[in-house]
């Protein structure tokens, strides 16, 4: 993970990750098929928010989780303690470039919101391929932050979003990595690579979902505010103005919020 992870590891941020997983659950998991997979590797498992969903959806599978952060691993072990006791999940602190597993160990692999934070995404994908059995499938969900759009025009929000992405880039992360997923998977040696553009689009057709997603998105932006203020990227005034714009967005009679990311599927041979 890139040094200086923009969101931090506070309890509040960890709590946000659980709600974030549920916001995206239906869109992310509807195209995914791990049926028949008895062993799934999750790289960058964080607090175990996506792990919980995998365990619920694939009751026959055992999940092996890896994350580099001791804070996230500790929270995941606590949140999933019953699954740990029943041996349905194991959680290990380890480097994604040096996985503590033998070759050809897993039927499937899952990566979600990780590669935006790392300096060597191809290396991580290649290491995942090493751990997959021949014919094993990998699903990756990654950000494509150029797609964010709101109406009415919200200049403080857009200024904040630019600085958010530019700061992540300066940390040697990649806020646009989703657009490169197919190239990276091919470079790592995978075959049968496919991609889908997954989208949240909310307008007057679904006002309740729109309001809930605006609340979620505001929390996401604010999670980066302390790091951006400390780095001199934004001011307290920009953060305050952004928060006001979010409230206005919720109350506007014709507001729109739109965001897309990329889900890739590939096979290891």
Q: What is the CATH number of the domain that holds 178?
A: 3.40.50.150
89: Cβ contacts below 8 Å, ≥ 6 apart: 48, 51, 55, 62, 63, 64, 65, 80, 83
What tokens does 180 get? 């490169």
For the chain, how many structural domains are there in total? 1
pLDDT for res 2: 42
| 3-class secondary-structure state, position 149 | strand
Domain of residue 253 covers 11-267
pLDDT for res 1: 44
pLDDT for res 7: 85
Instruction: Report how far residue 150's alpha carbon sits from residue 233's, in angstroms, rounded to the nearest whole number.
Output: 21
Instruction: Report how far residue 157's alpha carbon sits from residue 150's, in angstroms, rounded to the nearest whole number.
Output: 9
Residue with tokens 């960058």: 44
4 within some domain: no
167 within some domain: yes
pLDDT in tens, 142-187: 999 999 999 999 999 999 999 999 999 999 999 999 999 999 999 9
Instruction: Report how far residue 214's alpha carbon sits from residue 246's, in angstroms, rounded to the nearest whole number.
Output: 7
Whether the Cβ atoms of residue 52 and residue 79 lie closer than 8 Å to each other: yes
37 within some domain: yes
pTM of the model: 0.94
pLDDT means per 10 residues, the chain with 269 residues, are 69 91 96 97 97 97 97 97 97 98 98 96 98 98 98 98 97 97 98 98 97 96 96 98 97 97 98
CA distances from 203 to 74, 145, 149, 253 (A): 39, 19, 12, 9
193 within some domain: yes
Rg of the chain over all Cα atoms, to the nearest angstrom? 19
Q: What angle do CA 202, 203, 205 make, to 5 degrees?
A: 100
Instruction: Report how far residue 227's alpha carbon sits from residue 249's, in angstroms, rounded to the nearest whole number.
Output: 25
pLDDT for res 5: 77
């Amino acid at each position: 993970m890139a040094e200086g992870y923009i969101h931090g590891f506070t309890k509040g941020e960890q709590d946000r990750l659980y709600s974030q997983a549920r916001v995206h659950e239906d869109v992310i998991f509807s195209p995914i098929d791990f049926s028949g997979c008895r062993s799934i590797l999750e790289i960058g498992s964080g607090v175990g928010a996506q792990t919980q969903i995998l365990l619920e959806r694939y009751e026959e599978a055992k999940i092996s989780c890896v994350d580099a952060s001791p804070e996230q691993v500790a929270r995941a072990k606590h949140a999933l303690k019953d699954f740990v006791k029943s041996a349905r999940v194991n959680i290990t602190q380890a480097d994604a470039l040096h996985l503590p597993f033998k070759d050809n160990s897993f039927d499937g692999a899952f990566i979600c919101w990780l590669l935006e934070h790392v300096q060597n995404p191809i290396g991580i994908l290649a290491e995942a391929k090493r751990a997959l059995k021949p014919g094993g499938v990998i699903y990756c969900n990654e950000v494509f932050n150029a797609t964010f759009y709101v109406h009415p025009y919200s200049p403080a929000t857009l200024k904040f979003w630019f600085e958010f992405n530019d700061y992540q880039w300066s940390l040697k992360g990649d806020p646009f990595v989703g657009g490169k997923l197919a190239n990276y998977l091919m470079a790592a040696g995978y075959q049968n690579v496919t991609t889908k553009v997954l989208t949240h689009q909310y307008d007057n057709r679904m006002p309740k979902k729109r309001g809930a997603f605006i609340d979620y998105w505001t929390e996401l932006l604010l999670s980066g505010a302390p790091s951006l203020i400390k780095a001199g990227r934004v001011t307290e005034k920009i953060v305050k103005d952004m928060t006001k714009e979010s409230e206005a967005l919720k109350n506007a009679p014709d507001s729109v919020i739109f965001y897309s990311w990329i889900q890739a599927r590939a096979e290891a041979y």
